[in-house]
Amino acid sequence: MTDTNSREINVKEKQPLDTGGIENTRDEARFSPEVDIYESEDGLTVIADMPGVTAEGLSVDLKDNILTIQGTVQPQERRPKILLKEYETGDYFRQFSLSELIDQEKITASIKDGVLSVKLPNKAPAQPRKISVVTE
């Protein structure tokens, strides 16, 4: 029986990032990492695949509501002779525009085995409060 609601999975090949004319100072290719974004009651979580990137080669920055993720693959000192190469590595760059609903002071990031996780917590809703009125 065929489920008419099922969705076909489309695999997207890794493509070099179009840098818009910005020159790269390294010989490595530059990619836009694939991401998954999850929403929960607490906020958003961005999961980015960045194989070969370690914490030392990772930069997560926030400026003017733009979250920038940059990862540099550290060169390997000794590479074994490659017999078959189906996976291309390189540096990574991606930016996200954040809404005003994100608590930018509480953003956290961690990386393990080339998988970056960025937690974007929601701002706490405004709490009801009594506003005192002064006589001028």
pLDDT in the model for residue 15: 55
pLDDT in the model for residue 44: 93
The structural domains of the chain, with segments of one domain joined by +, span 29-76+86-121
What is the mean pLDDT of the segment spanning 80-87?
A: 76
What is the mean pLDDT of the segment spanning 35-56?
A: 92
Per the CB < 8 A criterion, the answer to whether 52 and 79 are in contact is no
Residue 95 contacts by C-beta under 8 Å, 6 or more apart in sequence?
66, 67, 68, 69
Which has the higher per-residue pLDDT, 136 or 79?
136
Looking at the whole model, is its pTM more than 0.85?
A: no
CA atoms of 14 and 48, how far apart (whole Å):
13
Radius of gyration for the chain, computed over Cα atoms and rounded to the nearest angstrom: 21
* CATH of 29-76+86-121 among 3.30.70.1060, 3.40.1080.10, 2.60.40.790, 2.60.40.420: 2.60.40.790
Judged on CB neighbours under 10 Å (0-12, 13-18, 19+), 47 is middle
Best CA proximity match to 28, nearest among 114, 93, 89, 95: 89
What is the mean pLDDT of the segment spanning 71-90?
A: 76
pLDDT in tens, 86-95: 767 778 999 9
Of all residues in the chain, the percent with pLDDT exceeding 90 is: 44
CA atoms of 39 and 66, how far apart (whole Å):
19
CA atoms of 120 and 42, how far apart (whole Å):
8
Range in 8-17, 27-36, 55-64 with the lowest mean pLDDT: 8-17
